[in-house]
Structure 1
Amino acid sequence: MDAIEKAIRNALDKGNAEDRAFRERVYRSAFAALDRALQANPGVTVEVAIKRRKAIQAKITEIESEYLPAVPGVAPQIDAPAVEASAGAAPAVDEAGPRASSLAVTVDGPGQPASDAPRSRVLPVVPDIMPDAALPGAPAIDMSVPASSGAATEVAPDRDERRIRGRRLPLTAIFFTVTLLAAIGIGLYFAMQTGVFKTAAELNTAPPEAPPTVEDDDFTPADGANAPAKPGAADQSRDWIDVFSPTDPTHVAAPSDAKAEVMKDDSGPFLRIQSGASGSAIAFDVGQGVLEKLAGKHAVFDIIARAEDGKDTQISVDCNFGELGDCGRKRYAVGQQKNEFLFDVKFPDKHPGSAGTIAINSDFDKQGKAVDVYEIRVSVEP
């Protein structure tokens, strides 16, 4: 006995199964239970819903035949109308049809005397019954069966739909796998680019250099790193090469909104430079002959300067050495005491081809502060 038949027979046992009106209410309850099951499974196709309704109709026909009297000389016949349904909804039924009439029996063929004709049971014509919204007096039908029976009346997709779903699953798995592998590959690439996998030995194999070259505009030198030396701290035994002296200001270029003026006080002669509101820098020439002496060598530049009285400032220094490159951008805090501001450059071993420049902005904050430059010189590391 399958689950549908068991559910209907259990409902019939709860009332007077000999009463045809009671049986009809039970059958309508069966269809209503099926409709609820279909609505709870939105993935069920129209074809599956029709098959399920036909299965219940056939089972009702079989059960109902047991309650009809035997009729002589009649062959069993089922004349069920075609069913049209959509998943989750019951088919429409004419109000003059199954709702208004009770279960009908169709008997075809010539009759025979009761004494001579064989007696057989007639299968009833059970139409596709539309479930009522409310079925007074009809017992509730549970279309599921106990777990111990190993079966349930849950509406399952047909074999074609399972086959289609089986084909979709590998494609979904392949797409997910490819996406995951691509994400892992991108992560590894960026990790390698940023040096995450470098060992401590790889990160510390370079020999320590003298004052590092700074390229960040917002860099404030820490103690001992590109910090200005105290007066006289630079090695006086070096073989210094003059780059600029206030006695010869012809090799200085100041833009239209900047100023450069030679002055003198108790500390000696100096060139007072003042950048314009645009932040333009004053350029000091570095002769081609000087650059030829520095090509292929490690050089240290020394700018001797101080801030204007009572106006501490921050200067920025940029270099352009033509074919020999540059020095990056430097930034120094300049006070009112004369100091030496050092930076080093490793020059490539090639011909410079032309002269270069060292550009100084006297006020990084663009407040019009001035700087007194006493001297710019360079020496080669031994």
Structure 2
Amino acid sequence: MSGLETAIRNALARSERANAEVRARIYQSARHALEAGLRKQEINDPETMAAQRHRLEATIREIETEERARLAAAESAVRAEPVAEARAEPALRAERAEPTLEGERRDDAGRPAGGTGDIGAIRPERADGFSAGGAAAAGPASGKASGGPADIRPERVAKARRRRGRLFSFLLVVATLIAAFGALAWWVQTSGLLADLRGDADDSIPPARVSGEDFSGDDPVKKALDTQNRFTADWRAVFSPGDMDKLSAGAAGRFEQVGTGEGPAARITSTDPDRDGAVRIEVSPEVLGELGGKNSTVALTVQSANGKPVQVTVECDFSTMGGCGRHRFTVSERTDILFQVTFDRSLSPSEPGHLLLNSDIAGGNASVYLYGVRILPGE
């Protein structure tokens, strides 16, 4: 389910997430993907299917709540911008009007005291610039004759700047929407989402993907699993939940047979990150004999017991054939972890070997469910 949640969040990040219809289509696509995954994994248990659907719906509700909260915060920020501009405009008017008033006072102070004709000329000019009645008394002619700073309208300049700012914001929004639509179209085209919606997706390809340090984008192990259509008769069964006698534990490890929503399983718990905490899985000499001189694939079907990601390791102890190194994987939902092994053809063992599974190398005593172990001999 964490894979579907990640896919939903990535789709929202590349789409017009503010549009409720776009989000609804993404959620519906996730539902289709879940149903396709259940069919491909041949899960027919009604309780298991209902539990998976319920978890997906809970994830969708959580994501939708986050999206609505994000939209509400964005709308509040947009409504706050006009208020800030309105408060700034009176301050701009006062700042531009003040130099004109000081200039006129200096003119008053510099004129001769005995010139009555000059005083009469000054009074209409001051009235034009700073009183409501002065403009009506002087008329249009006085305004033209003055030619002074009183004719300047600071508010008109401020409004023009505001219009240019709004135009720039509008163009920025349009460009962002175009880029978002382009990214969404590209994602839909390359992700195969349209094929899933039409119902013509290739059912031969399993939905599971392994996440771990042992794999790259073109890893041949994943290709081997895909071409084999999950687990065919070519895979040799090494362990199933009914073969508990094939398990043994170190001093700091334990195992038990349990029932889960995915079916019966062996619960593996390691209290030490080293080999003492590992549970040993027996591999028969017949299966080991088929691995000599070949690139073979080992697959373990596991799931985190508490649903949280946990790091597990797998090692080989194949008698005279030797080991295969330590392979580390991160596990949460039920998945198949795979790795390849290569051994010398001449070293055919006469006694069983073992796979060593440690359920938590972080030392947190976490447990995993083991549903099966299989080996695909190479050619």
Q: TM-score, normalised by structure 1?
A: 0.39
Q: TM-score, normalised by structure 2?
A: 0.39
Instruction: Please identify the structure whose Cα radius of gyration is greater.
Output: 1
- Which structure dedicates a bigger proportion of its chain to helix? 2
